[in-house]
Amino acid sequence: MATLEIRDLHVSVADGSDGTKEILRGVDLTVQAGETHAIMGPNGSGKSTLAYAIAGHPKYEVTSGAVTLGGEDVLAMSVDERARAGLFLAMQYPVEVPGVSVSNFLRSAVTAVRGEAPKLREFSKEMKKAMDDLSIDPAFAQRSLNEGFSGGEKKRHEILQLEMLKPKIAVLDETDSGLDVDALKVVSEGVNRFSSTEGTGVLLITHYTRILRYVKPDFVHVFAAGRVVAEGGPELADELENEGYEKYVKAGVS
């Protein structure tokens, strides 16, 4: 049973003039197994920075604070070690990889995370079921990774990875971005299947409450100016839908 703990996390990025700009200014957050947390906030509030810092993106410099998973120091791990430890990041803008098929990518990723290559027949059966669950055409498996994919196809593929890799904690960055209502329902069902698996937790980053109609969070955290300025249950998301972020932005900069 893994717990993701973030304590007083400060993160900076290069500002383009040989200096740095602090984006996260002391974030505290705990995601326990069996919980779904939603992070909401306006553009530029630091939501995606948190996701990338947890995953180990080299652009983001952790200047102080701690991140642990099951008591292990995440910040001391390389990116691949974080994945093997059970962290998963679904990116807002997935990268295209021409020449690498979805099937080959998934089998390589599964091998890296599990520590051994799955038998081809078992892997094919597992992948087919996951694709069927996400209403993905079987021909999709032979296409180059994300190349020429629609927004919906990219997001379904992110959830396909999630279902195949079976991490402990999934960080989903704007998974609802660019999805029509049908794709949103399919992707949400995939997130719910994962979150119902014993020993897993979800950190869902979003601007809008749209996805929260299908993925019900246990906790909602409001980000503004690089820190958590409000926390509550699902009712907080309803408040944000009705009232917006203005009062929380003011709280963040005060």
**Domain locations in the chain?**
3-92+166-253
Taking alpha carbons only, the member of 205, 200, 173 closest to residue 92 is: 173
For the chain, give the mean pLDDT.
91
% of the chain beyond a pLDDT of 70: 98
> Mean of the pLDDT values across residues 213-241?
94
Banded pLDDT at 148 (limits 50, 70, 90): confident
> Quick one: pLDDT at residue 252?
62
> Quick one: pLDDT at residue 62?
96
- Per-residue pLDDT tens for 79-120? 999 999 999 999 877 887 889 999 999 999 999 998 899 999
Of 27-41, 105-119, 139-153, 180-194, the poorest mean pLDDT is in: 139-153
pTM of structure: 0.91
Of 14-23, 165-174, 195-204, 213-222, the poorest mean pLDDT is in: 14-23
Contact 39, 218 (CB under 8 A): no
> Quick one: pLDDT at residue 254?
54
Q: Does domain 3-92+166-253 have CATH number 3.40.50.300?
A: yes
Burial of 43 (0-12, 13-18, 19+ CB in 10 A): exposed
Banded pLDDT at 250 (limits 50, 70, 90): confident
> Quick one: pLDDT at residue 168?
96
Residues 6+ apart with CB under 8 A from 241: 208, 209
